[in-house]
Amino acid sequence: MTPSRVFRGVKMAAPIMLGYAPIGAAYGLLAQQAGLSVWFALCLSLFVYAGAAQFMAVSLLSNGAGIAVIIGTTFVVNFRHVLMSAALSPFMRLWKKWQLAFFGGMITDESFAIHSRNFTLNGADPQEAIALNIAAYLTWAASGMAGFHMGALIDRPEAWGFDFALPAMFIGLLLPACRTAPAAIAALTGGIASVTLHLTGAGDWAAFIGAITGATAACLRQDP
Amino acid sequence: MRDATVIAGMALVTFLPRVVPLLILTGMKMPKAAGRWLSLIAPAILSSLLLPELLIVRSAAGDELSLSNIHLFAAIPSFAVAWKTKSLFGTVAAGIAATAFLRFLGLE
């Protein structure tokens, strides 16, 4: 283990940690109010580690939904990670299998956004990348627990503006990712497709189909 | 038992899409066109995740288009800082500060 590389990874995770802390706390509070046990809430954070799916599971459980519905919806909501995993793969050919599995298990929208920029610029360093993932993962689990036990004490957490930390991070990463014309077309088409899907009630598929639409549109325009 | 089944099931259907493509694709020689398509996934998915955050509000009736919400307004200084400074930290700080300020003014 090289401390300087691990430290670099944790440092890169800082904006993610800033964004996860309040959302994780909100998740913990919601789980507590829905009457879930602290262990169940914690296990979802540790073994599923996917914000949108966890919020959805809490609301489905408190509405008495069946197991198959909960697992099926989770699959749909989290299927977009297939694209992120695939998109990072060209940078990771020299990684060991266990490193790929360990890293991949902690891919989130936010960690993907940072990795994809960093791998393009600096290459994929396993220690740095895995340290980033673990820092984000621990922040998510810890803030969930904090929210479960103390969430009710925090009055109007959104007054501090932290709910915009992650959208702002995406803005900061989207602009440099759009430097070429095909990339800009992919972003524009994908974004419009995703918004349209939300409006037609297919929000669960929006990121997945939006991304495929955007990348395909940009490729087709490049070589008609 | 029911709790354990829910957790194990959710964990499995989340883990596989995250890991299987990495394990398969890193060992494969990729056609050039596929590589180019994959390189365009990053901008496409970033914007697919971001735009609904800025343009969609949830209501009882479902997702609705909104051109006047606090996240869309806060995005303007964030884009400006991202464009001018290229600093990720600066962009996040500007976004948080703008959101807090707009809420302080009473917007929702």
Are B52 and A194 inside 8 Å of each other by CB?
yes
User: How many whole angstroms separate alpha carbon B17 and alpha carbon B106?
Assistant: 42
Strand partners, B56: B65
Is pLDDT of B100 > 70?
Answer: yes
User: How many whole angstroms separate alpha carbon B41 and alpha carbon A64?
Assistant: 37
Q: What is the DSSP letter of A161?
A: S
Of A211, A212, A222, A204, nearest to A52 by C-alpha is A204
Dump pLDDT digits (tens) for A201-213: 999 999 999 999 9
- The set of residues, in sequence order, having a beta carbon less than 8 Å from that of A153 and lying 6+ positions away, is none
For residue A153, what pLDDT is reported?
A: 78
Is pLDDT of A105 > 70?
Answer: yes
Is pLDDT of A221 > 90?
Answer: no
Residue A44 CA: distances (Å) to CA of A26, A49, B20: 14, 6, 21
Report the percentage of chain A scoring pLDDT > 90.
90
Are B23 and A182 inside 8 Å of each other by CB?
no
Dump pLDDT digits (tens) for A31-54: 999 999 999 999 999 999 999 999
Is pLDDT of A224 > 70?
Answer: no
For residue A220, what pLDDT band results from cuts at 50, 70 and 90? very high
Buried b (16+ CB within 10 A) or exposed e, A182-214: bbbbbbbbbbbbbbbbbbeeebbebbbbbbbbb
A103: chain B residues, CB-CB within 8 Å: 22
End-to-end CA gap in chain A: 48
CB of A160 within 8 A of CB of B100?
Answer: yes
B104: chain A residues, CB-CB within 8 Å: 159
User: How many whole angstroms separate alpha carbon B24 and alpha carbon B15?
Assistant: 14
Domain ranges of chain A: 3-153, 178-224
For residue A217, what pLDDT is reported?
A: 97
A35 has a chain B CB within 8 A of its CB: no
Instruction: Name the residue in chain B with its Cα closest to that of A116.
Output: B42
List own/partner pairs for A72-77 with CB under 8 A and 24 or more apart. A73/A204, A74/A48, A74/A50, A74/B9, A74/B10, A74/B13, A74/B14, A75/B13, A75/B14, A75/B17, A76/A204, A76/A205, A77/A50, A77/A52, A77/A53, A77/A204
The backbone region for B59, taken as left when phi is positive above 0, alpha when psi lies in -120 to 50, beta otherwise, is beta
ipTM associated with this complex: 0.94
Is pLDDT of A91 > 70?
Answer: yes
For residue B43, what pLDDT band results from cuts at 50, 70 and 90? very high
Strand partners, B57: B64
B91: chain A residues, CB-CB within 8 Å: 168-169, 171-172
Dump pLDDT digits (tens) for B56-83: 998 888 889 999 999 999 999 999 999 9
For residue A92, what pLDDT is reported?
A: 97
Of B70, B88, B4, nearest to A39 by C-alpha is B4
Dump pLDDT digits (tens) for A128-172: 999 999 999 999 999 999 999 987 777 676 778 989 999 999 999
User: How many whole angstroms separate alpha carbon B95 and alpha carbon A164?
Assistant: 6
Helices (H) and strands (E) in chain A, counts: 12, 0
B15 has a chain A CB within 8 A of its CB: yes
Out of A40, A71, A101, whose CB is closest to B3? A40
Mean pLDDT of all residues in A173-178:
95
> Which range among A114-128, B12-26, B57-71 shows the weakest confidence by mean pLDDT?
B57-71
Strands B62-65 and B56-59: antiparallel
Is pLDDT of A71 > 70?
Answer: yes
Contacts across the A-B interface (CB distance below 8 Å): 286
Q: What is the DSSP letter of B62?
A: E
